[in-house]
Amino acid sequence: MALISSEALPHFESMIYLPMILIILEQDRDSFKKGPFKLKGPYVKLIDDATKLVQAELKETRFYLSRHNMKVIRSKTDDTFTEYVFIHGGYEDERRYLNVRLRNRTEELLGMYFSLVKK
C-alpha cells in the first residue's frame, strides 16, 4: 500500500516544480532585461504572464497542502538525485528524483505555461 495517495502526489510534485519554474522565469526575465535584444517588451511580457499563471497555481497548491496537513521537505541532493520527504497523514514518504528528470519535467512545464499564455 502506498503511503501517499495518487490524489495527493500531483500536489506534492507541484510544490517541487512550481518554485523551480518561478526561479527560472525570474532569471530569464533578468537576462532579457539586461540582454542585447532590440525589442525586449514582448519577451518580458511573455515571461511576466507565465509567472502570473505559475504564481496562481502555486498559491492554490500551498492552500491545498495546508488544508490537508501536507508538507514537502527537500532532503539530500547529489550530482544524480534529489530527495524529498512528503509528509501526509502522519506518514513520511521519502522519494528520490533523478536530477535529469527534474530538469526535463521543469522544462516541459515551462513550455506548457508559455503555451497557455499565448492562448
Per-residue model confidence as pLDDT tens digits over 25-75: 999 999 998 888 888 999 999 999 999 999 999 999 999 999 999 999 999
**Helix/strand/coil for 26:** helix
pLDDT confidence of residue 37: 83
Q: How confident is the model at residue 1 (pLDDT cuts 50, 70, 90)?
A: very low
Burial class (CB in 10 A: 0-12, 13-18, 19+), 55: middle
- Integer Cα distance of 101 and 17 in angstroms: 11
pLDDT confidence of residue 38: 87
Q: Which residue has the cell 514537502?
A: 72
- Integer Cα distance of 61 and 68 in angstroms: 11
Q: How many helices (H) and strands (E) does the chain have?
A: 3, 3
